[in-house]
Amino acid sequence: MFSKINKYKNKIIGFLCILSTGLVALSGSCEFGFFSRSTNKKADPVKLEISKISDVFDYDWEQLEPQTSQIKPEAWLEPYVKNDLEKINNFKTLEHSVPVEIKNTITGLERYYYYYISPYTGVEYRDFAYYDTDGNRRYLLGEKGLILLDYLFNQKVTFGPEIFSLNAININDFEIIGKQYNGFYVPNLREIFINAEAITDKGISIEVKCKFLINTIFHEYMHHWANEYAEIGLNFNNDQTSEKIISEKPNLYNRWNKNFINEFKKILNFNDKNIVNEDKNSLLIYKNYSLNDLWNVSNKEYKINEEEYKRLNKLNLTKKYIFNNNKFLDVKFSLERIKYYYSIDELVSREWTKIAFSPFTNYRDDINFEKSTSQSDLYYRFSWKGLETIRKDYVDTLDINGNMIKSDQYNLYYSAFFNDYLKIRPYLTHSTVVVEDMKEDKDTKKPFNTYIYPNDVYNFNRAKELYDLYLNTMSYGYNISSIFAHHSFGVLKVEKLDVTVQEQRDLISKIKFTGYLDEKKNYDGFVLKNKKGEKVALPFEKHAEFRFFANQNDFFKKNYEEVKLKPQNQYLYYVTKDFVDLNELDLSEPIYWWNDLNKNNVVDEDEVIDEEITINPNQVITNLRSINDQSSKKVAYLEKKDNKVKIHYNS
């Protein structure tokens, strides 16, 4: 398990992708943990298999079509959409980035990476170097690969204004990410780390590499989304608005938005207490635990539910459970692993991926193997399942459907989408597309491919409810949806034996605002006052290409057609251009709108607009996240009173 912490008990959320060999495949999941500094150790190092011939980075950029708006914009939004699309489609005119030398002053290591800053989102992509046997630097994506990765990010990843608080996406930073992980998210840094060992130095095309990475980035990005909206800062110890959620580590917890938790449980039936043919001697998970049991043992606080917790854990810690009766897919999970899978940290990302990610290929597509450019006997293909590699002499072991029969020369590296769909399926079997056997289970008398756990939103026509919940949790349509602290308030330090994230608390007071504007309130920014009585302008950077959608239909249905679930109303969304330091403001004054009538970037007296500013009554709008030090006193939050919004700040 990846062990990264700081002395403030930072959380790291990750996605584990286990290599599978042959027909029976183990899949991993997203992992997270809190650790004390005394137990903090670096993850097991990645040991790459280096090919004698380096990868080829040729790519026909002419085949890459400019992206268009994913929904038809209203007329007043069209100029903003046009501007957004120009930035998104700027990939054909941009110069590639250059390697930047990094010297780590703690370890003394010289580290190189390519970097590329997205013209649209501002996210920085970093592709870290690895070395061949002669000590020459190699890169996964090459000089222009990060541009393609950004193109696919804008095309496939679902995001709103919280994208502007994501700092970076790091590829193959093996000083940080260990071999157990395909990826993880570090909240205190607001950075995603990706381990691309599975596709490194195998002669795989740059297009396939980027598509494979996007699967994992999509999954990890939703941890960023949750960190910005669904988790409540620990200092807001209010049981009316927040829900205490336990960690998998003893005596550690974080707080989530209570409305989100309650609705999430209801939509996905985690209040269901039914156990199918209960049998504590059985290894079948559904004969031991109801959905409500799984939720409670994974998320509820021990002290509050001590008796229930003991009942659920009694004599079961050494058992290995399975989710189906199929001999080919009887993958066993320990109770500790199941508790992890059903943690809200994992569920919030996994359930969204199921309804919102659109794979690059249909699961019925017939996809041919391609030849590796660096290994003469290696072939590969990429599909919705992930990346398959096979040695030339074993291609004839594929069955008529193109599935692997059995071979230790065949590997399937699951995509995050397939991983999330396959893992802990609510069927008696893992997935109808994997198993066509319709025999009855002898105990339940139900066909293998019918539901046991009633937590699939498509089966119960609840996909739109789940979509609306996520949309409401991100305060869609409200004038202020979030405030966030400076990107650099967390600093990553790499030492010989451990990795730490240390907070720079003086930067927690520097914040930006995000939110939404309708046509009537399409103002230019906010106005605050500093302690000298001077007006302080917070100009908006406006966007209209909102890309937080889901799929109305189940990807695995026979007549699948992609129909988007989308918001009922359209808005501009914004991020304030500059950070404002709360220590310099007169916070007794409310926030006002700014309408820069003469476009001189100066707040004139007649440009201060006293109109209502809306905030979500079901959300705490704060600079504090659950991963911050719970003893921190530098907490800012918004409060609306007498129709005015003010900032409260404990400095």
How does pLDDT run across 530-569, given as a tens digit for each residue? 999 999 999 999 999 999 999 988 776 767 777 889 999 9
pLDDT at 575 over 80: yes
DSSP states along 203-268? ---HHHHHHHHHHHHHHHHHHHHHHHHTEE-TT---TTTEEEEE-SSTT-EEEEEHHHHHHHHHHT
pLDDT at 318 over 90: no
pLDDT at 481 over 90: yes
DSSP state of 10: -
| pLDDT for the residue numbered 485 | 87
pLDDT tens string 252-267: 567 888 899 999 999 9
307-316, 504-513, 554-563: which has the highest mean pLDDT?
A: 504-513
pLDDT at 422 over 80: no
Q: Report which of residues 299 and 156 the model is more confident about.
A: 156
Q: Report which of residues 226 and 22 the model is more confident about.
A: 226
| pLDDT for the residue numbered 61 | 80
Least confident piece of the model among 181-185, 274-278, 490-494, 603-607? 490-494
Q: Report which of residues 33 and 424 the model is more confident about.
A: 424
Bridge partners, 410 (sequence order): 390
Chain centroid to Cα 1, Å, comes to 19
pLDDT at 91 over 70: yes
| pLDDT for the residue numbered 379 | 87
Q: Tell me the pTM.
A: 0.86
- CA distance linking residue 562 with residue 556, whole number of Å: 11
| pLDDT for the residue numbered 536 | 97
pLDDT tier at 430 (50, 70, 90 boundaries)?
A: very low
Over residues 466-470, the mean pLDDT reads 98
Contact (CB, 8 A) for 245 and 299: yes
With 0-12 / 13-18 / 19 or more C-beta atoms within 10 angstroms meaning exposed / middle / buried, residue 304 is exposed
pLDDT tier at 320 (50, 70, 90 boundaries)?
A: low
Please, what is the angle between helix 344-356 and helix 258-267, to 10°?
Answer: 60
pLDDT over 90, % of the chain:
39
Least confident piece of the model among 411-420, 609-618, 632-641? 411-420
- CA distance linking residue 269 with residue 294, whole number of Å: 11
| pLDDT for the residue numbered 590 | 97
The structural domains of the chain, with segments of one domain joined by +, span: 11-223, 232-358+416-467, 370-414, 489-650
- How many residues make up the chain in this entry? 651
Q: Let me know the angle formed at the C-alpha of 547 by 544 and 549, rounded to the nearest 5 degrees.
A: 135
Q: Report which of residues 465 and 369 the model is more confident about.
A: 465
Over residues 294-315, the mean pLDDT reads 67
Spell out the residues 6+ positions from residue 31 whose beta carbon is closer than 8 angstroms to its own: 1, 2, 13, 14, 15, 16, 180, 181, 184, 340
Please, what is the angle between helix 463-473 and helix 344-356, to 10°?
Answer: 120
pLDDT at 50 over 70: yes
Least confident piece of the model among 18-27, 109-118, 201-210, 542-551? 18-27
Contact (CB, 8 A) for 576 and 493: no
Please, what is the angle between helix 258-267 and helix 463-473, to 10°?
Answer: 170
pLDDT tier at 339 (50, 70, 90 boundaries)?
A: confident
pLDDT at 428 over 50: no
pLDDT at 359 over 70: yes
- Strand runs (DSSP E) across 373-508, as ranges? 378-383, 386-391, 410-414, 482-485, 490-494, 499-503
- CA distance linking residue 290 with residue 269, whole number of Å: 10
Over residues 89-98, the mean pLDDT reads 64
CA-CA-CA-CA torsion for 410, 153, 547, 186, nearest 10 degrees?
A: 90
| pLDDT for the residue numbered 275 | 84
| pLDDT for the residue numbered 290 | 86
pLDDT at 571 over 90: yes
Contact (CB, 8 A) for 527 and 603: yes
DSSP state of 584: G
pLDDT over 70, % of the chain:
70
Residue with tokens 């599935």: 403
| pLDDT for the residue numbered 610 | 96
- CA distance linking residue 542 with residue 366, whole number of Å: 42
pLDDT at 247 over 60: no
Spell out the residues 6+ positions from residue 347 whose beta carbon is closer than 8 angstroms to its own: 264, 268
Give the residue from 539, 560, 549, 626 showing the smallest Cα distance to 226: 626
Mean pLDDT of the chain: 78
pLDDT at 450 over 70: no
Over residues 436-444, the mean pLDDT reads 40
Q: Report which of residues 368 and 99 the model is more confident about.
A: 368
Question: Phi then psi for 266, rounded to 5 degrees?
Answer: -65, -45
| pLDDT for the residue numbered 420 | 64
Reading the block at residue 290, the tokens are 């109801």
| pLDDT for the residue numbered 38 | 28
- CA distance linking residue 603 with residue 537, whole number of Å: 7
DSSP state of 270: T
Q: Report which of residues 19 and 490 the model is more confident about.
A: 490
Over residues 326-340, the mean pLDDT reads 64
* Strand duo 191-194 + 168-171: pairing: parallel
pLDDT at 425 over 60: no
pLDDT at 108 over 60: no
pLDDT tens string 370-382: 888 888 888 888 8
- How would you classify residue 386: left for phi > 0, otherwise alpha for psi between -120 and 50, otherwise beta? left
pLDDT tier at 314 (50, 70, 90 boundaries)?
A: low
In 10 A of CB 370, how many CB atoms? 15
| pLDDT for the residue numbered 464 | 96
Contact (CB, 8 A) for 244 and 411: no
